[in-house]
Structure 1
Amino acid sequence: MAEYRGMAYLRRKLTLKRRRVLTRYTYYEMKNEVRDFNLLIPPEFKYFRETLGWCGKAVDSLADRLVFRTFRNDNFDLNTIYRMNNPDILFPSAMLSALIAACSFLYIDRGADGFPRIQVIDGGNATGILDETTGLLIEGYAVLQRDDNDNPVREVYLRAGETWYYDKGQRPRMEPNPAPAPLLVPILYRPDAKRPFGHSRITRACMQIMQGALRTLKRSEVSAEFYSFPQKYVLGLSNDAEQMDKWKATISSMLDLRMDPETGEKPSVGQFQQQSMSPYTEQLRTFAALFAGETGLTLDDLGFVTDNPSSAEAIKASHENLRLAARRAQSTFGSGFLNAGYLAACLRDNFAYQRSQLYLTRPVWEPVFEPDAAMLSAIGDGVGKINGAVPGYFGPENLRDLTGMDAETTGGTANAADA
């Protein structure tokens, strides 16, 4: 039997990690505060709030390109399990949460009809001890419900073969299950040996660059006041001259300034040099370039229009780092979805299958970049030449993976020649 740390240990672990998760959700939702230096900013601008959606763009630009299609060689009918659990929301929600918080979790229980029910839990409400060999948990803990004060109302502690429910004000209850691992499966983004629960898409560098960009926006708003109404001055007024209303003098198109009868001198009016906004624009562009380099985006993605790419191939080339990140995410997310489907199949059939029995089943994804007409034409030429040299090398399945398009069917069947 495995050595378990216990629910109290996992609860403390979640408390330590939850703050970091909530910080990244704050940046994603554009609710983060600006840490200003407060050196020259007037008090009137102290509570001025700026927002930038760059962190949300960094997450969404990758999440929107990750489209899970199906399980191939599905010997345990995992596709049916996911189809019964609203996959159009389940998969995107799990991947989006994992990109923000470094990991999300799929919690599995038995529904009212006895069929497995799968729920997404964000990384700020679940944790566990990871078996790095299989990607499953040794034991897990999750908060299923919180009250208005963010205190847990319903908690669950999971081990192999049993799930313990802790409802506030009630006695704990245990439900047995045949699964050989806890019914809580991590969905990880970029895990490694040092951080097995992954890394967030919103890195520390992203947050620091965002702070610099927001401070630049704040300074530009302060300077805009002086840019709109440049400071003026009057020299040579007599000490006995009537004081002018500053606001009226600023917006008036005609000023009446008379000669001093004693000295015979007349006042001179001048204006200080107008504040320029270009330094702030250039500084903000610099921060945008740094953020784009950190996340694999382009300046066009962040709102700074440059030369528009002329084809899908040019867009793909400009997002090469993003494509590599998407391919890496597909491999780790696919493993997590396969693990969750495996445990759900054990729960459905009330039998403890071996994880090795799913070695033939593999997740299949839609292409990261959809091909345009020119790219489809190039693919067609290449497929014709390759199949001419190696007959049958390309068929409906790998062409579907390459183009993201289904073959036209006749009478419910499609043949490879038509593909």
Structure 2
Amino acid sequence: MEDYKGIEYLRRKLEAKRSRVETRYRYYEMKDSHQPRNLMVPVALQNKFKFTLGWCTKAVDSMADRLRFRGFKDDNFNMQQIFEMNNSDVLYDSAILGALITSCNFIYISEDDTGFPRLQVIDGGNATGIIDPITGMLTEGYAVLKRDDKGNALIEAWFIPGKMVIYQNGLDPYSVDNTAPYPLLVPIVNRPDAKRPFGHSRISRACMSHQNNAKDALMNMAICSEVNSFPQKYLLGMEPDAEPINATGRAAISDFLQINKGEDGSIPTLGQFSQAQLAPYVEEIKEYASLFTVETGLTLDDLGISSSNPTSYEAIRASHENLKSIAEKAQRSFGAGFLNTGYLAACVRDKYPYKRNQMHQTKPLWEPIYAPDASGIAALGDAALKVNQAVPGYIGNDSMRDILGIDGDNF
């Protein structure tokens, strides 16, 4: 029997990573606990301000909304049917969104009452495992299937090839056998690499830092605005023995302040301190926004800071070229995860341990990242015509479907 790490090891591993997952979910849900700070502002005054920014939310949603999984090409094992019978529209979006937030989500495969595969998305804060860097699947997995209101695990599952062991609070563990050659817990990973096979979150440390700094600038701007609402004034030339202006003697908004001449006929001079300008704070926030866009591939317009208004298909693509490259990378890694899920689900459905290399001809298909408008469709059509004139039949119906994202009639 293979030497497995065991459920205790995986429990500790999940507990060590869970706080990071929860932190990123708080930033995505705009519930982060960052308190604006300024060394020159008393803590009591700082606590009166609470700001919410959705930059991290926008960074995730702008990517997730553009990743639309269509299905599989050369689907010899009819895997697409399994996804469609498991509410595929919600399943794809849920797995992609969670993976962008936490760096890795998981799809848990089980059987319904009829023996047909059932797919369930589990977020990265409730599952982990030991990943095979070659196939991208787990050699051993662990998931918390149910928690109580306090976050304590009620139902846990330990996954190994051909078996799943269920640990339910207060009951003896029991196992459920299957025919799959890998654990029935499939990772859906965003931007994996050799050092971090479980990927990288879209909400990076730099994203959180830039958003926190922007909140600090917002607090300073709010304090400046409050001070400008009640500008400080001064009075020069008062007699030394004159009665000081106390709180009850100060001029209100609707009252006049009476100041008498001195014995020598001199008149006190009234003045007002110059108001602080808000423009430097606005520029500071724009600088943090610019740093945030560099990190995420967005533009200032995406963050609600107006700079230009591109309208054409080409202008929109040019302004989001970095985002397009990031999205294409995400399509490759997510597509591999969905392919692995379909492969293991097919093993469960057919009660047969297929080989992974039997799926080598099946390719994931995605909708275009940027759906072209009418002018874009015309330009792409002209380009396809010229290419086919040079190389007859080079671009066919399937290629045009991938480029345009539109189903043609009678094809």
User: What band does the TM-score fall into relative to the shorter chain?
Assistant: over 0.9
Task: Tell me: CA distance 1:181–1:251, structure 2 relative to 1, closer, same or farther (3 Å).
Answer: same
Classify the secondary structure of the residue corresponding to 2:166.
strand
Residue 258 of structure 1 aligns with which residue?
260
Residue 64 of structure 1 aligns with which residue?
65
**2:216 partner letter:** R
Deviates more, 1:150-159 or 1:251-260: 251-260
Residue 156 of structure 2 aligns with which residue?
155
Asked whether the 8 Å contact 2:35–2:50 carries over to 1, the reply is no
1:267 aligns with 2:246: no
Map 1:344-383; keep pairs closer than 5 Å.
Answer: 344-383=345-384
Distance 2:279 2:377 in 1: 44
Distance 1:47 1:244 in 2: 27
**2:253 partner letter:** I
TM-score by length of 1: 0.94
Runs of 5+ consecutive residues of structure 2 not aligned to the other structure: none
Asked whether the 8 Å contact 2:163–2:175 carries over to 1, the reply is yes
Asked whether the 8 Å contact 2:106–2:185 carries over to 1, the reply is yes
Map 1:44-83; keep pairs closer than 5 Å.
Answer: 44-83=45-84
Distance 1:301 1:81 in 2: 36
Q: How far is the alpha carbon of 1:217 from its aligned partner?
A: 0.7
Asked whether the 8 Å contact 1:140–1:158 carries over to 2, the reply is yes
Alignment deviations for residues 198-234 of structure 1 (CA, whole Å, 9 cap, x no partner): 0111111111111211111111111111122211122
Structure 1 runs of 4+ with >4 Å offset: 35-38
**1:256 partner letter:** Q
Distance 2:255 2:89 in 1: 62
**1:255 partner letter:** L
Runs of 5+ consecutive residues of structure 1 not aligned to the other structure: 415-419
1:215 aligns with 2:223: no
**1:139 partner letter:** E
Alignment deviations for residues 11-40 of structure 1 (CA, whole Å, 9 cap, x no partner): 000011111111111111111223554411
Q: How far is the alpha carbon of 1:251 from its aligned partner?
A: 2.1
Residue 28 of structure 2 aligns with which residue?
28
TM-score by length of 2: 0.96
Cα RMSD (Å) = 1.6
Asked whether the 8 Å contact 2:217–2:281 carries over to 1, the reply is yes
Q: How far is the alpha carbon of 1:312 from its aligned partner?
A: 1.1
Classify the secondary structure of the residue corresponding to 1:282.
helix
Residue 417 of structure 1 aligns with which residue?
none
Alignment deviations for residues 320-346 of structure 1 (CA, whole Å, 9 cap, x no partner): 110000000001000000101111111
Residue 225 of structure 1 aligns with which residue?
226
Task: Tell me: CA distance 1:248–1:107, structure 2 relative to 1, closer, same or farther (3 Å).
Answer: farther
Distance 1:116 1:34 in 2: 43
Residue 407 of structure 1 aligns with which residue?
408
Task: Tell me: CA distance 1:250–1:294, structure 2 relative to 1, closer, same or farther (3 Å).
Answer: farther
Distance 1:401 1:327 in 2: 13
Q: How far is the alpha carbon of 1:306 from its aligned partner?
A: 1.1
Distance 1:167 1:246 in 2: 70
Distance 2:397 2:251 in 1: 78
Distance 2:219 2:100 in 1: 29
